[in-house]
Amino acid sequence: MSESHFDKYEHYNFDHDKHLYSGHSGKQRTKKEAEEHTNHFDPSGHSRKIVTKLMNTEANKKMEEKAKQ
């Protein structure tokens, strides 16, 4: 499609319509898609941080035991 007949205001409207009508979902997603791709509440808390910390603690203890031998 040729845009030669568009003036600067039409270009402005096209550029800003995508931000105005996105429904605060970002990335041109619908509201439903935005809900599906968001961080959800984890009732157990910071489970990934805790698991990583425990795994590192175990690995460090094993390394200390090997260093003592």
- Per-residue confidence in pLDDT tens, the chain, 69 aa: 566 666 766 766 666 666 555 555 566 777 788 778 777 777 777 788 889 999 999 999 999 999 987
Domain for residue 1, yes or no?
no
Q: Look at the pTM and tell me if it is higher than 0.95.
A: no
Domain for residue 38, yes or no?
yes
Q: Which amino acid is at 24?
A: H
Q: The domain containing residue 32 runs over which residues?
A: 8-68
**Alpha-carbon distances of 56 from 3, 48, 62, rounded to whole Å:** 59, 12, 10
CA pseudo-torsion sign 18, 24, 26, 32: negative
pLDDT score recorded for residue 48? 83
Contact predicate 19/27, CB 8 Å: no
* Number of domains, the chain: 1
